[in-house]
Amino acid sequence: AQKVTQAQTEISVVEKEDVTLDCVYETRDTTYYLFWYKQPPSGELVFLIRRNSFDEQNEISGRYSWNFQKSTSSFNFTITASQVVDSAVYFCALSGGGTSYGKLTFGQGTILTVHP
């Protein structure tokens, strides 16, 4: 069975602080995919990133960066110089490969509040 654990239920920071959201996963699949989604107050799930299990390169997109480490089964997400607009619920998710792709197992989510 697959499992995703997001250690932080809620994080509160002040604008311009850096913040890291932790994600640890469990799977027996050798091919799998990891995702991060943002859910702002409007409710829609906004795709942020997808990584496959064979690509451990870290990725940076503007103020966002992701650290994928297979050795610790972690896929952590860092926001640099946080802004109020980053306030949202963030979900880490996992899917298998092949026909299992698309069946996402989500973590419980981390509520991020950025104060001005």
Partner 1 sequence: GAGVSQSPSNKVTEKGKDVELRCDPISGHTALYWYRQSLGQGLEFLIYFQGNSAPDKSGLPSDRFSAERTGGSVSTLTIQRTQQEDSAVYLCASSFSGGYGYTFGSGTRLTVV
Binding site for partner 1 (CB under 8 A): 33, 37, 42-45, 47, 50, 91, 93, 95, 99, 101-109
Minimum Å gap between C-beta 78 and partner 1 is 22
Minimum Å gap between C-beta 74 and partner 1 is 19
Residue type, 47: F
Judged by beta carbon, residue 68 or residue 91, the one nearer partner 1 is 91
Minimum Å gap between C-beta 20 and partner 1 is 21
What is the DSSP pairing of strand 10-14 with strand 110-115?
parallel
Judged by beta carbon, residue 54 or residue 101, the one nearer partner 1 is 101
Picking from 66, 69, 65, the residue whose alpha carbon sits closest to that of residue 56 is: 69
Minimum Å gap between C-beta 32 and partner 1 is 12
Judged by beta carbon, residue 82 or residue 95, the one nearer partner 1 is 95
